[in-house]
Amino acid sequence: MKTLTVLCNIVLFGFTCFVLVTDGTPKEASYIVFTLLVVLIPILNVVVLFRSRADDGWVGPHMKEKALETQPKTDAISSRSTAIERVAVICNIILLGFACWAFVDQYPHPEEDGVIAFAVLMVLTPILSLVVLFRNGAKDSWLGLHIKRKALEE
């Protein structure tokens, strides 16, 4: 799921850059902000997902072992990473809202070949990113810990 999400973010970034090169930059302030969000949020998503992926690989257990040696530093690092994940979640919600607003604002849509693919990608990417970010954050959240506790009690 993470790989699909990273791929969608990279394709959205590339598609947006391609549209910027072919159609030019937007003229209205709201669309300039929207374009900046569409360019920057996929980069943020990829960075956050790659940072969380380090825990899953073969380096993860070694990193956790080293982190236990320096516990105060680990608490600061983990709080920073959860803050970045929260920022990414908020940014993805904002991007999804802006995408819905743009779809409504630009109705009727131009009849070009890539409009439907771009629209699907604009909605799918933030939703996938939110799902993956919530799944990663659920491991250490109060809800994730509660579910683990209930499973251990049974």
Beta-sheet strands, E only, within 20-136? none
d(CA 2, CA 56): 11
Structure-token match 């899953």, residue found: 56
Looking at residues 82-96, what average pLDDT do you find?
90
Q: Check residue 67 and give its pLDDT.
A: 55
The domain limits of the chain are 2-153
Can you list the pairs that 26-31 forms with residues at least 24 positions away whose Cβ atoms lie under 8 Å?
31/102
Residues listed for the chain: 154
Q: How far apart are alpha carbons 119 and 117 in whole angstroms?
A: 5
Question: Rounded mean pLDDT of the chain?
Answer: 79
Span 22-30, mean pLDDT? 89
pTM for this model (two decimals)? 0.70
The amino acid sitting at 111 is E
Contact between 138 and 144 under an 8 Å Cβ cutoff? The reply is: yes
Average of per-residue pLDDT across 74-94 = 76
pLDDT recorded at residue 112: 75
